[in-house]
Amino acid sequence: MDHNDVVKTLNKLIETSKDGEYGFRTSGEHCKSPQIRELFMKRAEECRKAAAELQSLVVQHGGSAEDSGSASGAMHRGWVAVKGALAGYTDLAMLEETERGEDVALASYRRALEQDLPPNVRSVVETQLQGVQRNHDQVRMLRDQARAADA
């Protein structure tokens, strides 16, 4: 894999991480539960740090690093705002949309790992994938608890 392909793959993951940062922060701002809000803000910061780590790798590979999220991520955040307004910004609605965003992030990281990445890049991407999986699983568990409480 040449440097341009590595940079392109990393920049897609930077967009994914920035989408996660913005998504967790936006959802956290609308959560009623202080515990969920705190969790989402912590996850937003972790996504910001992940993006910074990837940006450093892009520079190491001679590229210019992305510094914002994707258009599809912006559209998803817009949808979260619409759904939240219609549903009254319930914690359940925020958890459902956050889980959807983490589904997209998991797919992005898995696609990246299908590439022939240099060992140092692969190691970082694998470690970050574990964090995304943890986020997804925790959000899904909270979503399931919120659904049970709603029933």
pLDDT tier for residue 97 given thresholds of 50, 70 and 90: confident
Is residue 102 within 8 Å of residue 136, measured between CB atoms? yes
Angle between helices 119-150 and 34-60 (to 10 degrees): 160
Q: Is the pTM of this model over 0.85?
A: yes
Position 10 scores a pLDDT of 97
Position 151 scores a pLDDT of 74
Domains in the chain (CATH in brackets) are 3-150 (1.20.1260.10)
Running DSSP on this structure, what letter comes out for residue 84?
H
Look at the chain and count its residues: 151
132-151 residue pLDDT tens: 999 999 999 999 999 999 87
Which of 144, 135, 145 minimizes the C-alpha distance to 103? 135
47-89 residue pLDDT tens: 999 999 999 999 999 998 888 555 554 554 555 555 555 556 7
Q: Distance between alpha carbon 74 and the CA centroid of its chain, in Å? A: 12
Which of 75, 109, 84 minimizes the C-alpha distance to 27? 84
| Cβ count within 10 A of residue 89 | 17
Which of 54, 82, 57 minimizes the C-alpha distance to 69? 54
